[in-house]
């Protein structure tokens, strides 16, 4: 009796998981696309631009985090600030944060983050 219960539970889980896929895919398409075929090229180019910014942000953050880890392993402490990574020749220069963001660093924990700046109020 136990052997029949296991395959049945697997089948139920698979059916439940399959039912969620199209809904989430549909909602993703609605949120990233205007739905108008005339604006599809513009939507596509905008998505590519956003993906490129995200990739650059991820690469910069990863390289800085790795540099902080290497510094910590060699010096047995975290750098006082990110500029110390440059002066100690762990990196050639600090990467510039994408527009609307800034690099933050916590010298106590060695955590590097890219934070989105609040948008300025619109003029009235």
Residues 94 and 112: their CA atoms lie apart, in Å, by 12
Residue spans of the domains in the chain: they are 52-118
Q: What is the pLDDT of residue 72?
A: 95
Q: What is the pLDDT of residue 106?
A: 94
In order along its 124 residues, the chain shows pLDDT tens digits of 455 566 666 666 555 555 544 444 444 444 555 677 788 787 877 788 777 777 666 767 888 899 999 999 999 999 999 999 999 999 898 888 777 888 899 999 999 988 888 877 767 6
SS (H, E, C) the chain: CHHHHHHHHHHHHHHHHHHHHHHHHHHHHHHHCCCCHHHHHHHHHHHHHHHHHHHHHHHHHHHHHHHHHHHHHHHCCCCCCCHHHHHCCCCCCCCCCCCCEEEEEECCCCEEEEEECCCCCCCC
| Residue 105: CB atoms within 10 Å | 19
């Amino acid at each position: 009796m136990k052997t029949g219960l296991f395959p049945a539970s697997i089948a139920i889980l698979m059916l439940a998981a399959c039912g969620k896929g199209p809904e989430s895919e549909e909602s993703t398409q609605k949120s990233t696309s205007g739905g108008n075929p005339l604006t599809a090229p513009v939507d596509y180019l905008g998505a590519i631009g956003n993906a490129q910014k995200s990739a650059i942000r991820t690469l910069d953050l990863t390289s800085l985090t790795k540099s902080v880890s290497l510094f910590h392993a060699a010096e047995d402490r975290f750098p006082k600030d990110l500029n110390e990574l440059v002066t100690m020749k762990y990196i050639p220069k600090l990467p510039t944060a994408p527009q609307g963001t800034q690099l933050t660093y916590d010298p106590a924990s060695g955590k590097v983050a890219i934070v989105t700046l609040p948008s300025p109020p619109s003029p009235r």
